[in-house]
Amino acid sequence: MKVIELRTENFKRIEAVEVRPGDRALVMVCGNNAQGKSSLLDALWGALASRLPEKPIREGADKADIEVILGDGETIKLCIHKTITPDRAYLTVTDGDGARIKTPQAILDTLYSGFTFDPEAFVRLKPREQVDALMRVCGVEDQMVKLETERLHVFDQRTMINRDLKSAEARLTAASKGLPEECPAEIDVVELTEKRKVLDQSLRKRVAHDSQIKLQARTVDDLTARAGQLQAEIDRKQSDMQELLAAANAEAERLTALKEIVLPTVELLQSEVDKLDEQISQSESVNRLVQQFDQANTLSLSVAEQQGKSDSLTRKLDRIDKQKADLVGAANLAVPGLSFDSSQVYYNGVPIQDCAASERLRIGVMLGMKAHPELRILRIEHGSLLDEDNRKMLAEMAEIEDFQFWVESVGEHAECGIIIEAGKIKESK
């Protein structure tokens, strides 16, 4: 649909204007500054949009009226009438048969987007806003937002994992510092202590046994000496001597029995005790070394686990990036050579803001035409900045795509179709 007729009264600077573009593809609206040319195009915008400018009613008037007839050729499809008062706006929309539409604004909202009327607005957006607008045009916004949200979540996860990974690696490095190549066997202090107790008991037993032997030897010596002393009295005390000799023989037998008992020597037992004492004294440093090896092994496992998680999340990010790239590749971008990533839009590999003005204009126009092809109207706000080649390019694009471009230009020149002066049409060609 294109504009068949536009009528407006008392809208902004417009007093009363009626325009029938006819079959013109390029509708040039000209005039000096502050005469009402922007107001005329704003009226067309205001008829369709739910939002109005801050002061839509002309100074001195009590209301403003806008009427737009849309259709194909002379076939009327929609009639839009909006009356604006200081309190509110009244909108009426009828179809080609004159039937009133119950939800007029909802119908109009489906016909245009933020840059449908002004393709240059797309170029003026920030790089990230251009990406959002392009995704809306291509119908992939919801999918891309979902992928971006998932990617951000995975990226945050990997950041946390990598932070833990670096911490684990630092702890592993510190724990491994100064360790020998091989871990020594851990010393069982409890077992060694128990062995020492047994040896202590054997040592005490042997010392007591030796003391008993010495005591017994002295006893034998004493008895033998007494026997010798009694030898002189043998005639006189023969019976006593026999008893003493018998006692001495008995004690000698006991001595022999004691000597026959096989026990470790004191020197051997003391040597075993010394060995255990040395092992026990070394146990603290050795076991501390074993603990360091255990800690290093635990940290090594933790590093491997964190690295595995990080690598898994990196692969997931790569899959998401590939999905995004596939989504971009499958999108119908309307402009050959146009592409985008998560941060900006490119034309033939060059950021769009770095492209030539004519390229930016062409891209904006083609995207505007793709956004809502049913309403075949675009607004070029800064027509005064267009050179002859750009105006010719716009005219050819409008003719080929069967669109109607409303171009605003300052001043009066031969190409002007509508000249606005003091809120009215001065001349129409």
Last residue of a domain, one of 272, 303, 330: 330
Last residue of a domain, one of 296, 330, 364: 330
DSSP 256: H
In a domain, 87, yes or no: yes
Whether residues 291 and 376 fall in one domain:
no
Last residue of a domain, one of 298, 314, 330: 330
Segment (H or E) for 161: helix 141-176
Residue 376: is it exposed, middle or buried by C-beta count within 10 angstroms (0-12/13-18/19+)?
buried
Q: Which domain holds residue 79?
A: 2-112+372-428
Per-residue pLDDT tens over the stretch 247-304: 888 888 888 887 777 666 778 888 888 888 888 888 888 888 888 888 888 988 998 9
Cβ atoms 303, 165 nearer than 8 A: yes
In a domain, 341, yes or no: no
Residues in contact with 174: Cβ distance below 8 Å, sequence separation at least 6, in sequence order? none
Quote the CA–CA distance of 149 and 7 in Å, as a whole number.
Answer: 47
Cβ atoms 25, 398 nearer than 8 A: yes
In a domain, 340, yes or no: no
In a domain, 99, yes or no: yes
Give me the pLDDT at residue 392, please: 87
Whether residues 302 and 201 fall in one domain:
yes
Whether residues 103 and 244 fall in one domain:
no
**Measured at the alpha carbon of residue 419, what is the angle toward residues 369 and 23, in degrees to the nearest 5?**
45
pTM higher than 0.75: no
Whether residues 398 and 265 fall in one domain:
no
Quote the CA–CA distance of 42 and 38 in Å, as a whole number.
Answer: 6
What percentage of the chain exceeds 70 in pLDDT? 93
Which CATH number fits the domain that encloses residue 73? 3.40.50.300
Give me the pLDDT at residue 263, please: 66
In a domain, 377, yes or no: yes
- The model's confidence at residue 117, banded by pLDDT at 50, 70 and 90, is very low
Whether residues 76 and 150 fall in one domain:
no
| Residue 339, helix vs strand vs coil | strand
Quote the CA–CA distance of 89 and 83 in Å, as a whole number.
Answer: 6
- CA gyration radius for the chain? 54
In 30-65, which positions are buried (b, 16+ CB within 10 angstroms) versus exposed (e)?
bbeeebbbbbbbbbbbbbbbeebeeebbbeeeebbb
Give me the pLDDT at residue 427, please: 58
Whether residues 323 and 201 fall in one domain:
yes
Count of domains for the chain: 2
Per-residue pLDDT tens over the stretch 167-188: 988 988 888 888 888 888 888 8
Give me the pLDDT at residue 101, please: 92
- Order of strands across the sheet that contains 64-72: 16-19, 2-9, 64-72, 75-84, 89-95
In a domain, 285, yes or no: yes
Whether residues 207 and 295 fall in one domain:
yes
Cβ atoms 34, 414 nearer than 8 A: no
